[in-house]
């Protein structure tokens, strides 16, 4: 009974919801589909209290609030790294500075988890792009970006 009602709810309101969410996400279909799925999940959880006459407005309200929350969440996160190699570390001609840098960096790098250290090795030492690093390590490109960001943040904190 609940499955039939949920299926009817989705068939009746799904296309309108997806169209509205697509506008709220500036045409990002994947984000819109994720928000539609979350909206329908919340409808499933509240199916016992959801009235048929008020279903459309309830669904649109939930979807709009989820879209606003997602937008705020994206705005609060730092921007991700691009596909091009990260800026090369400045080469130093002064041997003393290189020794001092190594003395500071080595313990900080040793304190990083192995996955983060591996990503930094590929990106900075081998000068690989994010995509090349992802393919080499067999992980998604987004994971490479996230691990790089976390590793650099940790290093900044250690060296500050």
123 within 8 A of 80, measured Cβ to Cβ: no
pLDDT of 99-133, one tens digit each? 666 777 778 888 889 999 999 889 888 888 999 99
pLDDT band at residue 83 under the 50/70/90 scheme? low
Per domain, the residue ranges of the chain are 2-76, 95-159
Out of 69-78, 84-93, 133-142, least confident range? 84-93
d(CA 134, CA 140): 6
Does residue 159 or residue 70 have the better pLDDT?
70
Task: State how far the Cα of 134 lies from the Cα of 159, in Å rounded to an integer.
Answer: 27
Tell me what the mean pLDDT of segment 51-76 comes to: 88
Please write down the HEC assignment for all residues of 138-153. Answer: CCCHHHHHHHHHHHHH
pLDDT at residue 71 in the model: 87
pLDDT band for position 141 (50/70/90)?
A: very high
The backbone region for 92, taken as left when phi is positive above 0, alpha when psi lies in -120 to 50, beta otherwise, is: beta
pLDDT(76) > 90? no
Query: Using an 8 Å Cβ cutoff, are 63 and 134 in contact?
Result: no
| CATH architecture entry for 95-159 | Orthogonal Bundle (1.10)
Q: Are 80 and 52 in contact (CB under 8 A)?
A: no
Q: Is the pLDDT of residue 89 over 80?
A: no
Q: Which class is 2-76 in CATH? A: mainly alpha
pLDDT tens-digit readout, 10-51:
999 999 999 999 999 888 899 999 999 999 999 999 888 888
Residue 128, exposed/middle/buried by CB under 10 A (0-12, 13-18, 19+)?
buried
User: So what's the pLDDT on residue 100?
Assistant: 66
The pLDDT > 90 percentage for the chain reads: 44
């Amino acid at each position: 009974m609940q499955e039939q009602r949920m299926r009817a709810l989705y068939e009746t309101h799904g296309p309108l919801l997806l169209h509205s969410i697509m506008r709220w996400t500036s045409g990002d279909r994947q984000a819109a589909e994720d928000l539609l799925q979350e909206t329908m999940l919340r409808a499933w959880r509240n199916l016992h209290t959801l009235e048929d006459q008020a279903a459309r407005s309830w669904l649109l309200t939930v979807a709009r609030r989820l879209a606003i929350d997602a937008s705020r969440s994206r705005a609060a996160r730092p921007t991700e790294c691009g596909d091009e190699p990260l800026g090369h570390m400045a080469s130093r001609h002064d041997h003393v500075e290189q020794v001092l840098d190594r003395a500071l960096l080595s313990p900080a790098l040793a304190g990083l988890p192995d996955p983060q250290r591996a990503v930094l090795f590929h990106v900075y030492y081998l000068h690989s792009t994010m995509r090349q690093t992802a393919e080499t390590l067999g992980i998604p490109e987004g994971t490479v970006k996230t691990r790089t960001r976390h590793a650099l943040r940790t290093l900044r904190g250690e060296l500050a």
